[in-house]
Amino acid sequence: MDTTRRNFIKKTSLGTVATATLGSNILIGKNILGANDRIHCAIAGVRSRGKAHAAAINLQENARITYSCDVDDHILEEHNSWCQKNIGYIPKIEKDFRKLVENKDIDAVFIASPEHWHTPMSILAMQAGKHVYVEKPCSHNPREVELLVAAQKKYGLKVQMGNQQRSAVTSIKAIQDIRQGIIGEVYKGEAYYSNNRGSIGIGKEIPIPEHLNWELWQGPAPRTAYKDNIHPYNWHWFRNWGTGEVHNNGTHEIDICRWALGVDLPEKVTSFGGKYTYQDDWEFVDNQQVTFSFPNGKFITWTGHSRGLIQPNQPGRGVTIYGSKGSIQLDRNFYKRYDLGGNLLFSELEGVASKTTDTQGQGGLDVNHVGNLFDAIRKEKPLTAEIKDASISTMLCHLANMAQDAGETLQIDTTTAKVLNNNAVMQNWSREYAPGWEPKI
């Protein structure tokens, strides 16, 4: 008999604990995993980033993907072939996330859906007793950050955000060096990203494709007509579902700056920017400059060029951390240290490279980051991007969008993140939900 299967049966028959019944009739059933037990995973959203999750899970010891969840039959069909070829088996299919989490043969849920689903899915998963790997940004709006952190506290499960550079060997080493004063007193983090994304055009209302469950795709978001330039991927640039580039890529880089400087919430946020390139349906700025300033005089800048590369010759993404005695440049794949004169003193490459400018970001950091989640589940090892801390980086990105909308410097309450000087932008603290779809904990 397959011993992992036997372990699984043991886990589900004897090791499942029912710890509470929630108002919504959901029974928490958490599988208790020992240090050698197989971890069963489900992936929600399998078109692009979900494949990076699958590849990383497949490289872990004793882990299996039991379910793929998606709402587009064409994507599921394509993903099944991909799985057969790349991981050697085809996981079961469940299209409705609410039903997915009821399955007992899932210990951890990986969420790579559009962003309006991130917090609602994470909460549903936790309520069903599942650990969570949720892609960045972990929420669609600031209120969802609060809900997600409260849910993790309530249900006590492991929740890792997908800011995988927190698991980079070279970045971890750089932060240790910074803490030991290798570049003196650190005061500034420069986060940047540039790409040359094209126009997304003006969407045309068309019949919903038969292979797509548009009702489930929309889920918590207020209902709209289906247009031909939303799914897949371009939902990133619509406010109903996405959060713009400051979240899409800024969450990664701003998070590294925050880590390096040892700061949490800012006291002031300023944003300049606009939509300078194409006349299309894109609803956010496409080029943006944000400054976050912190109570101790430290500051972080975000330079986001979605449509037009930073010139001359700056790498596509990364951070530079400035200290009183030198500076450090980090990206997913390297750590470089300079003296005040700009002379390179130290340089190290990450062992297994990760993609930096494509839309999937697959690579060695995913493997480390998923491995860290599994170590936390099996051995109570600390998470490198546990949600209480990681979500602060998502909150900074929400504040950046709010500062851009406000058109003035926002004063922030450094314990709650609430805006103190602009009531109008505080109206966007939460969102309108489709009736019956509000996340509840």
Ligand X SMILES: NC(=O)c1ccc[n+]([C@@H]2O[C@H](COP(=O)([O-])OP(=O)(O)OC[C@H]3O[C@@H](n4cnc5c(N)ncnc54)[C@H](O)[C@@H]3O)[C@@H](O)[C@H]2O)c1
Binding residues for ligand X, rule: CB under 6 A, are 44-49, 69-72, 75, 97, 112-115, 117, 135-136, 162, 164, 216-217, 219, 232-233, 248, 359-361
Residue with smaller CB distance to ligand X, 4 or 360: 360
For residues 283 and 89, give the distance between their C-alpha atoms in angstroms, rounded to a whole number: 40
Is residue 436 exposed (0-12), middle (13-18) or buried (19+ Cβ within 10 Å)?
A: exposed
Give least dist CB 92 to ligand X, A: 14
Give least dist CB 220 to ligand X, A: 9
Give least dist CB 358 to ligand X, A: 8
For residues 59 and 352, give the distance between their C-alpha atoms in angstroms, rounded to a whole number: 13
Dig out the tokens for 211 from the structure.
């292979």
Residue with smaller CB distance to ligand X, 119 or 327: 119
Residue with smaller CB distance to ligand X, 146 or 366: 366
Dig out the tokens for 97 from the structure.
């996330």
Give least dist CB 246 to ligand X, A: 12
Give least dist CB 314 to ligand X, A: 20
Give least dist CB 437 to ligand X, A: 11
Residue with smaller CB distance to ligand X, 26 or 112: 112
Residue with smaller CB distance to ligand X, 293 or 384: 384
For residues 380 and 364, give the distance between their C-alpha atoms in angstroms, rounded to a whole number: 22
Give least dist CB 433 to ligand X, A: 14
Give least dist CB 70 to ligand X, A: 4
For residues 439 and 149, give the distance between their C-alpha atoms in angstroms, rounded to a whole number: 13
Residue with smaller CB distance to ligand X, 114 or 326: 114
Residue with smaller CB distance to ligand X, 109 or 285: 109
Residue with smaller CB distance to ligand X, 270 or 372: 372
Dig out the tokens for 27 from the structure.
């029974």
Give least dist CB 8 to ligand X, A: 24
Residue with smaller CB distance to ligand X, 74 or 379: 74
Dig out the tokens for 426 from the structure.
């505080």
